[in-house]
Structure 1
């Protein structure tokens, strides 16, 4: 919420508007006085990394009455306010739309009572509003994510990872209860990302006898050697008769059936707190920016909008319709229309539910005799989430009737025939681990390698190749696909799955690993900024990304940078000189901290060290300068929940495309990706058409549009020059 507040305040000021903050929700609007305060640029200067909301929130019962809304209207009009951004749940947004509809009548009543003049009422004849959904439940129908849900999922995953180690040590089961009164997103997403065994969600209550089904799944896992079992329960889970399913009941069922020590953990409000994730910072910043645009230039005059994220784009939905659709879901569940309730959550929710069902109740645990053999290979640079992708590929592949083969150490390993068959249990524990158990190499095969590669594929009897990796992996897959006419062994389905911290691959808005790297960057920036809190300091921080500016730009937005230097824009000496002069004036006027983010290949000449030295040389003792290169930390660590979920989705779709190709005898190639909230496949023959090959990045980079967002929240109005390119 704080990221959204900051973006609204600064974007509005950037656009020349006066800004007020209303404290303690609608109650502050009713109370007036100090509850409605002018807010300036520096009032939101240090809130980006803070959890909660600095302006407070409150469930106001008085605002539900017309008398309360009349008081609120008078207080707004007295300050000249007729545009509102409200960040809250469906109840808050319903109240907002009610105020908007009643606004003309409330003005008339205030005029009749002599509280305001007719002229003042005429100046503010309409209330223009924009709603942003702040809800960890992620329950707004029509969008993929709401403010806070990604951070809440991070908190849940921290708990699951901790519980898994405890459970495995003692060989026991845990029942984990998470929030979600009417929406099972947190429970379902956490169950997949955490490799859990069973999940209970409100939208799809389990059939009668679910207790036996759950215990059989746990029993089977134990028989296969698994030492820990975790069942995730959404707080609003019920059976099909509408009776609540409590976590304590689930615990008792497991103990009674399996005679195994079982513990219950209820996370509660821990899920609402803590430092916001990188996604919740940059996405909320974008939403706040778009909310101000909507207020100052409504997309549909006279219609209230709620603004949310669909995939990696901002959408505007009719507020009343979106709230009604959201509030209808509990009615669908109560009436037994579970298909309707699931469909209301959107295609990606149903996709995740199907993946989890297949992982926990597979068609088989062992590949059938004579099964087609699918090889998995990593290539390129390491990306967190490669193990997740490989483990899910093995298990979904086996469930779908394939024999799975792991190639060790990339295409160099394939050239040497270094491979082994992978069974269901061979990938136990991989789903949440960093690194790449299969190993990888960056090298792209040369034409001289093709004969040995083809011989290895023949000797390993490979019928399909799943390539998981970055741009080098994609180049290798493309090379094999292009040489099909010369080498019969390459006449197999080849599917490339995106895994790269650079996020520079064709056909996908995000690659597996990019979100993890971004969170590492933002966590590093937070600590770097804190180290300079007691002095006056300028930081220049370098991120990875090669020629692709995703990590640098998004780190800049999520980390609160004043300046971001990208290869896509280039760096000019005149621009640097102006920035130095601006920085001198800014520190002389009282600035205490400045942060610049530099993409590692932003410029060959103007390196991070050069920038630091230039800034230091111009400081005149008013500030000191530190440079920091985050480096390979960005490739390490355990994958974030978002990267684990993305890995599951792209691998599932890639295997499905592989199965279709094998059934049709279609020895072609595809690359998989996330586009407009959906997982799609594109023909490999088009790959180079989508790429700026020289700079190893897609021709279309959706995140570049966020440059204007960064400018709005970082460029305080003044004489500083804006880019014209």
Structure 2
């Protein structure tokens, strides 16, 4: 039975300031988690203004009031920039109206202005209550029962400008909108050999512009934190001209709305357009994306992340003592972090002060390590030290192996261009380890990987084949014949096993005594040494989009769906897809499926439909149980339905491996191969032959010695012993398992 830490407590939830995709997921999580824990929840409509107006502006919410909202952009409870709340009289009215509903705990989803107002409200609370008592507007007994306001903040901001966390609610979805637009513009620009200047939001924060430029394979970017040095116009035009000379048919420059030069003068998208036209004589157009960046369906990340944040905020708020300091909850390295609210607001605002003061080094540092790393990588890609092969440089092979994962081409492109810029000769190994065995190895030039950023698939080809003992000798000969100094494999578990075999056999085959690097690329997200793999985010977005359509197809019926995802024995896609898609049940191999469990679920489903349910969704990992297959579960549900609901099943299949990679997968691919090349250079410079698994742990890219690989894995079921995402199982339960009504 769920612990009832919220018994007798009431929470208010509101959204304030600008809207952001994912706010509805957070509202849903707050409401349902609180109800699961025994608390009552009240939605405050139209932001802080709803507290001031009271009455219908504050309404108790039930479980179904937040049903079917995950896919919706904006905020279903409305938002407002309240001027009245800035005045003490407005905050006094807000306190009175909250206490009229017995509310002394508040979750606010908004930007830094909304959160600083929330902290002021908390600080003033005792004095506001004293004023209300003195004016005869509040009984002393009520005031004594609610001596403090306990608060929790979630940052809803597409700018991703909160210092102290990795991502804010809405930023990933906004990046999806921008990168989709850049992909579309690239095709029309290439058709006409035209240049485009794309302006994106970000008055004080260049996150969207920088990450969109990397993920979109753009030619130049201008951001507030790192204004260009004098003469930037010449350098920008020189790089655009170089790209055209190398055969590129389109040029795209991304400008953040807050971009300036080093003197503090604004750099506008129109100004950039004029510079390109005047100096290069190219037909150049401006596209200002505007508020479309805020709109539309939230991405899978903004659904599951916002749900997790709402869950953790409620748990912390219900456990808080009167007078406790308020916190902002955000994601930091695949974990929820609680940051003191005013510290977060103060540090965030400090960045704009640093920019105004011209301290750009400190401003970049304040944005975090990954921001600086991506800025450096983009500089290498857009202003390379060289674009021709250095014949005297080291020869580095690039290959794929294992199952297909979106983002493999992005990783290969980044590896080729970063490698060439760093003075290496980059070799493409075609068709995985069979291609390496047969010598299908060619030099890759800068232009050979043009337009690979947005391509799904794997243009180098791949195979799942793990080389046998008899194939090791010819592989060694090919490495020697092609003078390969290091080998970079971007792929899945079969590729990892193949690389481990080369590493393990280096005493017998001297050709294998070279740096061997594995970069994780698998939609299954089941690889050692990395918490996330390239391709998994794209697959997750495909799953969530499919679930949205499946649910919509049942809008006029009473129906149950059983959806099967890929993942082999790893339930990442099933659990995260179920969380982001709003499923009521998730079946994983990690937990197994029993007949007793299915019987309980069927009984619960029967009672739930009897109470008025019209839709049920279960998500099942493809290998959750060999006997209780998707078809068997669907048949059991149908047999026990009694005609109350019908049942459909959907096996999503290989569409999860296809399509253009998501912005996150493109960014991670670029970052991981950049680190892998750094590690290769480190080994070669030292005359060493260390082999490593490169991966993302928390928010940092790290490397694990290849010799440790097998100890990290349960090789029987092909997944790591430690899987961070399993902790979200309790979140799924809290937001999907509606408490039974008390008899």
Q: TM-score range by the shorter chain?
A: over 0.9
Q: Which residue of 2 aligns with 1:75?
A: 97
User: Are residues 1:11 and 2:33 paired?
Assistant: yes
CA shift at 1:233, angstroms?
Answer: 0.3
Tell me if 1:158 matches 2:211: no
Q: What is the number of residues matched between the two proteins?
A: 720
1:534 maps to which of 556, 563, 567:
556
Is 1:386 paired with 2:426?
A: no
Cα offset, 1:145, TM superposition: 0.4
Aligned residue number for residue 358 of structure 2: 336
Deviations 1:237-294 (A, max 9, x none): 1111111111001100100000111000000000000000000000000000011011
Question: Which residue in 2 is equivalent to 1:209?
Answer: 231
- In 2, the alpha carbon distance for the partners of 1:187 and 1:464 equals 34
TM-score, with structure 1 as normaliser: 0.99
SS of 2:385's equivalent in the other structure is coil
For residues 150-189 of structure 1, the aligned pairs below 5 Å read 150-189=172-211
Preserved CA contact (<8 Å) 1:481 1:668: no
**1:416/1:209 CA distance change after superposition, 3 Å:** same
Per the alignment, residue 481 of structure 1 pairs with 503
Residues 677-720 of structure 1: per-residue CA shift (max 9 Å, x gap): 00001100111111111111111100000000000000101189
The aligned runs of 1:266-345 (5 Å cut-off) are 266-298=288-320, 302-345=324-367
**Contact residue 407 and residue 418 of structure 1 kept, 8 A:** yes
Does 2:353 align with 1:346? no
CA shift, 1:647, in A, is: 0.2
Q: Which residue of 2 aligns with 1:454?
A: 476
1:604 aligns with 2:622: no
Post-superposition offset of 1:298: 3.0
Task: Within 5 Å, give how 1:181-260 maps onto structure 2.
Answer: 181-260=203-282
Alpha carbons 2:147, 2:322 under 8 Å: kept: no
- Is residue 658 of structure 2 the alignment partner of residue 636 of structure 1? yes
In terms of mean alpha carbon deviation, does 553-562 or 293-302 score higher? 293-302
Superposed displacement of residue 164, structure 1: 0.3
The alpha-carbon deviation at position 369 of structure 1 amounts to 2.2
State the distance in 2 between where 1:169 and 1:99 align.
56
Counterpart Cα distance in 1 of 2:92 and 2:175: 39
Q: Tell whether the 8 Å contact from 2:149 to 2:322 is kept in structure 1 after alignment.
A: no
Q: Note closer, same or farther for the CA distance 1:300–1:384 as it changes in structure 2 (3 Å cut).
A: farther
- State the alpha-carbon separation in 1 of the partners of residues 437 and 483 from structure 2: 14
Answering whether residue 615 of structure 2 is matched by residue 615 of structure 1, we say no
Give the TM-score normalised by structure 2.
0.96
Following superposition, which runs of at least 4 residues in structure 1 exceed 4 angstroms of deviation?
Answer: none
1:5-40 deviations in whole A, cap 9, x for unaligned?
A: 000000000000000000000000100011111011
Equivalent residue, structure 1, for 2:594: 572
Is the partner of 1:627 in helix, strand or coil? strand
Q: What's 1:713 paired with? A: 735
| 1:183–1:203 Cα contact (<8 Å) kept | yes
Taking the aligned partners of 1:517 and 1:371, their CA distance within structure 2 comes to 37
Distance (whole Å) between structure 1 residues aligned to residue 564 and residue 82 of structure 2 = 46
Q: C-alpha separation between the residues in 1 aligned to 2:65 and 2:408?
A: 42
Give a deviation string over 1:206-235, Cα, whole Å, max 9, x none.
Answer: 111111111111011111111000000000
- Structure 2 unaligned residues grouped into runs of 5+: 1-22
Counterpart residue number, 1:723: none
Whether 1:651 and 2:684 are equivalent positions in the alignment is no
Q: Which residue of 2 aligns with 1:693?
A: 715
Post-superposition shift, 1:582? 1.1
**1:497 maps onto 2:511 in alignment:** no
**1:124 and 2:146 matched:** yes
Are 1:366 and 1:424, in contact at CA under 8 Å, matched by a contact in 2? yes
**Aligned partner of residue 337 in structure 2, secondary structure:** strand
- Would the aligned equivalents of 2:149 and 2:323 in 1 still touch at CA under 8 Å? no
1:467-488 CA-to-partner distances (Å, cap 9, x unmatched) read 1001111111111001110000
Question: How does 1:55-66 map onto structure 2 within 5 Å?
Answer: 55-66=77-88
| Equivalent of residue 109 in structure 1, options 102, 111, 131 | 131
Listed one character per residue, the Cα deviations across residues 349-408 of structure 1 (whole Å, up to 9, x for unaligned) are 000000000001111112222211100010000000000000000000111111000000
User: For the residues of structure 2 that align with 1:603 and 1:718, how far apart are their CA atoms?
Assistant: 28
Distance verdict in 2 for CA 1:694–1:520, change over 3 Å: same
CA contact (8 A) 1:407 1:414 kept: yes
Answer whether contact 1:386 1:499 (CA < 8 A) is retained. yes
Pick one of 60, 67, 91 that aligns with 1:45. Answer: 67
Aligned residues of 1:308 and 1:316 also touching (Cα < 8 A): yes
In structure 2, how many angstroms separate the alpha carbons of the residues matched to 1:341 and 1:222? 33
Deviations 1:122-142 (A, max 9, x none): 111011000000000000001
Question: Within the alignment, does 1:513 sit opposite 2:535 as a pair?
Answer: yes
Aligned-pair distance for 1:143?
Answer: 0.7
Deviation at 1:303, TM superposition (A): 1.0
SS in 1 for 2:40: coil
Q: Deviations over 1:447-503 (max 9, x none)?
A: 121111111111111110001001111111111001110000000000000000000
Measured against aligned partners, the alpha-carbon deviations of 1:626-676 in whole angstroms (never above 9, x if no partner) come to: 000000000000000000000001000000000000111111210011111
What's the CA shift for 1:301?
6.2
**1:25 aligned residue:** 47
- Equivalent of 1:544, from 546, 562, 566? 566
